[in-house]
Structure 1
Amino acid sequence: MTTLFLDHYESPIGTILLVTDERRCLRALDFADHEPRMRQLLQRHYGTSETLPLPAPTVIRDALDAYFDGDLQALSAIVWQTNGSLFQRQVWAALGDIPAGTTQSYAELAAHIGKPNAVRAVGLANGANPVGIVVPCHRVIGANGKLTGYGGGIERKAWLLEHEGALPVAHTPNRMAAAI
Structure 2
Amino acid sequence: MQTAYIDSPLGITKIVGDANGISEISILSEGKIATQIPKELQCCVSQLQEYFEGQRHHFDFKINPQGTEFQQKVWQELVNIPFGKTISYLELSKKLGDVKAIRAVASANGRNPLWIVVPCHRVIGTDGSLTGYAGGLWRKKWLLEHESSSKQQSLF
> Which residue matches 2:21?
25
> Which residue matches 1:62?
46
Equivalenced residues, count: 148
Q: Does the 8 A contact of 2:121 with 2:143 survive in 1?
A: yes
* SS of 2:24 mapped into structure 1: strand
Counterpart CA distance in 1 for 2:134 and 2:43 is 24
TM-score of the aligned structures, taking structure 2 as reference length: 0.86
1:13 aligns with 2:23: no
How much has 1:61 moved relative to structure 2?
Answer: 1.1
* SS of 2:6 mapped into structure 1: strand
4+ residue stretches of structure 1 with deviation over 4 A?
Answer: 166-170
2:49 partner letter: D
Q: Does the 8 A contact of 1:158 with 1:167 survive in 2?
A: no
Counterpart CA distance in 2 for 1:169 and 1:124 is 33
> Which residue matches 1:134?
117
Kindly indicate which of the two structures has a greater share of residues assigned to helix. 1
TM-score of the aligned structures, taking structure 1 as reference length: 0.75
1:5-154 matches, cutoff 5 A = 5-21=2-18, 23=19, 25-33=21-29, 55=38, 57-74=41-58, 76-154=59-137
Counterpart CA distance in 1 for 2:9 and 2:79 is 22
Distance 1:106 1:34, change over 3 A: farther
Q: Unpaired segments of 5 or more residues in structure 2?
A: none
Distance 1:137 1:65, change over 3 A: same
Counterpart CA distance in 2 for 1:17 and 1:169 is 30
In the TM superposition, what whole-angstrom CA distance separates every residue of 1:94-143 from its partner, at most 9, and x where no partner exists?
00011111100001001111122100000000000001100000000011
Counterpart CA distance in 2 for 1:73 and 1:136 is 11
Counterpart CA distance in 1 for 2:152 and 2:110 is 25
2:24 partner letter: A
